[in-house]
Amino acid sequence: MKKIPLNMPYFGEEEIKAATDSIKSTWVVGDGPKCREFEAELAKYLKVKHAFIVTSGTAALDLAVKTAGIKGDIIVPNFTFTATALAATLNNCKPVLVDVQLDTINIDPELIKKNIKDNSKAIIPVDYAGHPCDIDEINQIAKENNLITIQDSAQSIGSEYKDKKIGSLMDLTCFSFHSTKNITSGEGGAITTNNDEYAEKIKIIREKGTDKHKYIGTNKKGYQEAISIGNSYVQSDILAAIVLEQLKKLDKINEMRRKNAEYLNKNLQGVVEIPKIRSYAKTNWSLYCIRVPKEKRDSFISLLSENGVGANVHYCPLHLNKYYKELLNHKKEDFPISNQIFDTLIRLPMYPQLTKEELDHIIESVKQLK
């Protein structure tokens, strides 16, 4: 059997045709007709007032902080990708690292409370592996302390919290359409909000601080003017055309992932520690991670790889990374749960196209580990 990779995009002829048609149209720059069509369909799917496509999930997070005008400390989970904390540092804010919960690997609300100081301005929780964070509790903490909430939902497109789609449940929500995500344009992202004032700011800031959006696709006379700070976050219409086709398949993709995860769970229960899903959550199974004894993690990854099964660690906690060590001067022991997760977690393959034969091979390979 050929090696089973960790991830594989779910593409068909529809995406190829969409990209080709977009190229032939000659409208290939950002904020074009396919961008706006995707934004309308995404907003409808998520039941949110405003949705904007951007160049990446990282860009979405950066844009969210700029839009909210945050100047101060931003609380983020320690066990996350650097993009979450970069949203703070790129905007001259200090990221305040907070440890996570052992079961969901999401930020611990009780530790959020303990880390709120006079200069705290915002919280950026993460939906790890597609599992929604404790939204109600975090929103209540934010309300009591006058903090802005930006949900890093890079991994949770299509996931649900108490039967509501992720995307409208915090002040701003950021998604990623990187090639490793459930739907992808290769590189891409989106930012959503129900706040009309934020929506107007996003239109300006993401187009280099200009009012160009007023003239795109209209017959208005005039010229664009620079009226704010900004950057170039608008996505190419070619990539928007691709992810529009992906969005149409999202429910199917997530259902296929769910069935694969259920099959793995059923057969790996009692063999290794399998993912835990809380009762309020419907995850999109962006990742499938198991946990093994600390002393066996590296040898297990090597043995799985030798057996043709893609396997790896996932996220080196921020406090162990060179940049954040120098920036924040934390000690390793400051984040015991992050350390424990990093020492024991193994990411396994998860994508819609996994066959029963491949799933069985993954299961048997894990069972052979000693």
Q: Are residues 229 and 265 in the same domain?
A: no
Q: Which residue has the tokens 């701003």?
A: 172
Residue 336 has a pLDDT of: 98
Q: What is the CATH number of the domain that holds 115?
A: 3.40.640.10
Q: How far apart are CA 106 and CA 278, in angstroms?
A: 12
Q: Are residues 286 and 161 in the same domain?
A: no
Residue 246 has a pLDDT of: 98
* Domain-ending residue, one of 231, 248, 265: 248
Q: Are residues 301 and 200 in the same domain?
A: no
Rounded to 5°, angle at Cα 150 from 144 and 151: 110
Q: Are residues 228 and 269 in the same domain?
A: no
- Does the structure show a pLDDT above 90 at 212? no
Cα pseudo-dihedral 74, 75, 78, 79, rounded to 10: -100
- Does the structure show a pLDDT above 80 at 276? yes
Domain range for 236? 13-248
Q: Are residues 243 and 257 in the same domain?
A: no
Distance between first and last Cα of the chain:
22
Quote the DSSP letter at residue 107: B
Return mean pLDDT, the chain. Answer: 96
- Kindly give, in sequence order, each residue whose CB lies less than 8 Å from that of residue 170, ignoring residues fewer than 6 positions away: 135, 138, 139, 149, 150, 151
Side chain identity at 257, as an amino acid letter?
Answer: R
- Does the structure show a pLDDT above 90 at 223? no
Residue 203 has a pLDDT of: 95
- Does the structure show a pLDDT above 90 at 218? no
Residue 213 has a pLDDT of: 77
- Does the structure show a pLDDT above 80 at 217? no
pLDDT-based confidence at 214, cuts 50/70/90? confident
Q: Are residues 213 and 76 in the same domain?
A: yes
- Asked whether 141 and 135 are in contact (CB, 8 A), the reply is no
- Does 161 map to a domain? yes
The more confidently predicted of residues 34 and 208 is 34
- Does the structure show a pLDDT above 90 at 370? no
- Does 4 map to a domain? no
Q: Which residue has the tokens 């983020």?
A: 76
In tens, the pLDDT along 163-200 reads 999 999 999 999 999 999 999 999 999 999 999 999 99
Lowest-confidence region among 223-227, 251-255, 363-367: 223-227
* Domain-ending residue, one of 248, 265, 296: 248
* 36-47 average pLDDT score: 98
- The secondary element (H helix, E strand) that includes residue 322 is helix 322-328
Q: Are residues 33 and 177 in the same domain?
A: yes
Residue 225 has a pLDDT of: 86
- Does the structure show a pLDDT above 90 at 219? no
